[in-house]
Amino acid sequence: MSDSMAQGQPHPAVARSAAAEAFLSRTPDVIAPGHTFGSVTDKISGIVLTHRTPIGWFMGFAIAFVFLMILNVTIVKLLFTGIGIWGNNIPVGWAFDIINFVWWIGIGHAGTLISAILLLFRQQWRTSINRFAEAMTLFAVACAAMFPLLHTGRPWLAAYWLFPYPNTMNLWPQFRSPLIWDVFAVSTYFTVSLLFWFTGLIPDLATLRDSAESKWAQKIFGVLALGWRGSAQHWQRYETIYLLLAGLSTPLVLSVHTVVSFDFAVSEIPGWHATFFPPYFVAGAIYSGFAMVMTLAVPMRAAFHLEDLITMRHIHNMTKIMLATGMIVAYAYVNEAFYAWYSGNLYEQFMFTNRATGPYGPFYWMLIAINACMIQLFWFRKVRDNVVLLFILSLLVNVGMWLERFVIIVVSLHRDFLPSSWDMYAPTRWDFGMFTGTIGLFLALFFLFVRLLPAISIFEVRTLVPQAKLQAADHH
């Protein structure tokens, strides 16, 4: 492992062509030169322990907190009144609640992709972005889970058909329903993501315990670090399960959005009932998730001066993944049109015409403009080098993916099989309160996370510095 970790040192035995050298010299390193074990430790732990909190942090947290309070008000109102305060009504039985659920859970997927799948593929560049991407996953899944739970109206009364527990009515969940699969998939996903995230944190919490000056910080980090002492014996077991958890998370993350897509694909609604939904949804999830990682990474990198650790290499690679997965999503849009035409089914064809030219048509064309056309900008190196532009584009990608779920869910429902029951859907202010409220919750948690815990994995970044390479002469 350590040999492959050495940076920027071409192996002398490999003679490279001038063109290859020129190409490699244009590829930025995953860590800026000149760092040592001590300097990376101080750089990352300093954000938590010693640095003054930037004023931008307080402002950002304050804004997020306002929206968090809006979420609280919305939830209280919802629990007292019922889900009638939302805009959804037959025929549009699913609207903001499910759009936002799918949107948030999709965002979470990039964190697991970075931490697990890129680890299995030995992609070193994952190392300085995996920690906060995993945190993003946890917070996004927490926001996502809130929507279906609150859609039940009074979740404590719904528990018996959501979770299998012996109740006085002797009733059990109905396991042939994709909605129950969802309960298992999302709760497993949250649990495993939490275990993976905390496992990664243990050695870094020990670092904070050992370098903290204040008694309170030492005590709190000491308890959280569980007495970790960096023993070689411990590291060996630790590495075993870290790899195993990565291997388990990989099929898990693919299964979660597959099951989410089953919520639609297993039904018989035109526009939902399609066998290609699972790969389409998984690609869309990773695409929107990387956009959110970019949205968070660009300001965090600037605010805490992390350009040495989150280098242009990371920014380039994330953009390329967005481009690749975005193209898969665009391909899926073409497929949807093709299926509608090729099926010869009246309702499928109407669904598609209604999507493109119906009352919600502009939303469809906006999502095509963003997810199929705008992302073509990512082909250009000039765009990939411009972090401010990338920040704006990644925000737009998040908008585009939200619109995609709006189009899939609302537009497929609002004109159903019987024209007499057709209706329009409009969200109420409570819908918006809940949606912006979860954004507030997500951002508030993220602000607290970057301030209170190491946002970059310290021990993994140590393996990237040149000192970590063993000198071959002394050891065989």
Partner 1 sequence: MAHAPETALLHGLMAEFDNPTALVSAADRARLAGYTAMDAYTPYPIEELNDALGLKKNPLPFMVLMGGLLGGLGGYMLEYWTQVVAWPMNIGGRPFHSWPHFIPVTFECTVLGASLTAFLGMLALNGLPKPYHPVFNVPAFDRASRDRFFLCIESTDPKFDRTATESFLKDLHPLGVSEVAA
Alpha-carbon torsion (270, 271, 272, 276), positive or negative: positive
- Residue 445 Cβ vs partner 1, minimum distance, rounded to whole Å: 22
- Residue 263 Cβ vs partner 1, minimum distance, rounded to whole Å: 11
Alpha-carbon torsion (384, 390, 394, 399), positive or negative: negative
Number of Cα atoms under 13 Å in the Cβ half of residue 390: 30
Residue 31 tokens read as 């860590």
With contact defined as beta carbons under 8 Å apart, do 409 and 99 qualify?
A: yes
- Residue 143 Cβ vs partner 1, minimum distance, rounded to whole Å: 20
Smaller CB distance to partner 1: residue 240 or 376?
240
CA 109 to chain centre: 4
Q: Treating both helix axes as pointing N-terminal to C-terminal, what angle do 346-357 and 312-343 enclose, rounded to 10 degrees?
A: 130
- Residue 211 Cβ vs partner 1, minimum distance, rounded to whole Å: 7
Longest dimension (CA), the chain: 83
Helix residue ranges per DSSP H, 50-95: 55-81
Smaller CB distance to partner 1: residue 17 or 233?
233
- Residue 36 Cβ vs partner 1, minimum distance, rounded to whole Å: 7
Smaller CB distance to partner 1: residue 255 or 345?
255
How far apart are the C-alpha atoms of 197 and 242, rounded to whole Å? 10
Smaller CB distance to partner 1: residue 188 or 345?
188
- Residue 50 Cβ vs partner 1, minimum distance, rounded to whole Å: 14
Smaller CB distance to partner 1: residue 172 or 380?
172
- Residue 428 Cβ vs partner 1, minimum distance, rounded to whole Å: 34
- Residue 97 Cβ vs partner 1, minimum distance, rounded to whole Å: 22
Closest Cα partner for 391 from 459, 338, 318? 318
Smaller CB distance to partner 1: residue 25 or 471?
471
Smaller CB distance to partner 1: residue 147 or 459?
459
Smaller CB distance to partner 1: residue 188 or 335?
188
What are the backbone dihedrals phi and psi of residue 92, each rounded to the nearest 5 degrees, phi first? -90, 80
- Residue 197 Cβ vs partner 1, minimum distance, rounded to whole Å: 11
473 CB burial (10 A radius; 0-12, 13-18, 19+)? exposed
294 CB burial (10 A radius; 0-12, 13-18, 19+)? buried
- Residue 194 Cβ vs partner 1, minimum distance, rounded to whole Å: 9
How far apart are the C-alpha atoms of 260 and 179, rounded to whole Å? 8
Smaller CB distance to partner 1: residue 203 or 427?
203
29 CB burial (10 A radius; 0-12, 13-18, 19+)? middle
- Residue 416 Cβ vs partner 1, minimum distance, rounded to whole Å: 20
Smaller CB distance to partner 1: residue 115 or 319?
115
Smaller CB distance to partner 1: residue 97 or 460?
460
Sites of contact with partner 1 (CB under 8 A): 1-2, 36-38, 41, 164, 170-176, 178, 180-181, 184-185, 188, 191-192, 195-196, 198-199, 203, 206-207, 209-211, 222-223, 226-241, 244-245, 248-249, 251-252, 255, 259, 262, 459-460, 462-463, 467-468, 470-471, 474-475
Alpha-carbon torsion (287, 292, 298, 304), positive or negative: negative
- Residue 473 Cβ vs partner 1, minimum distance, rounded to whole Å: 9
130 CB burial (10 A radius; 0-12, 13-18, 19+)? buried
Residue with tokens 């694909």: 265
Helix residue ranges per DSSP H, 306-428: 312-343, 346-357, 361-368, 381-385, 387-406, 412-414
- Who's near 218: CB < 8 A, 6+ residues apart? 209, 212
Smaller CB distance to partner 1: residue 121 or 165?
165
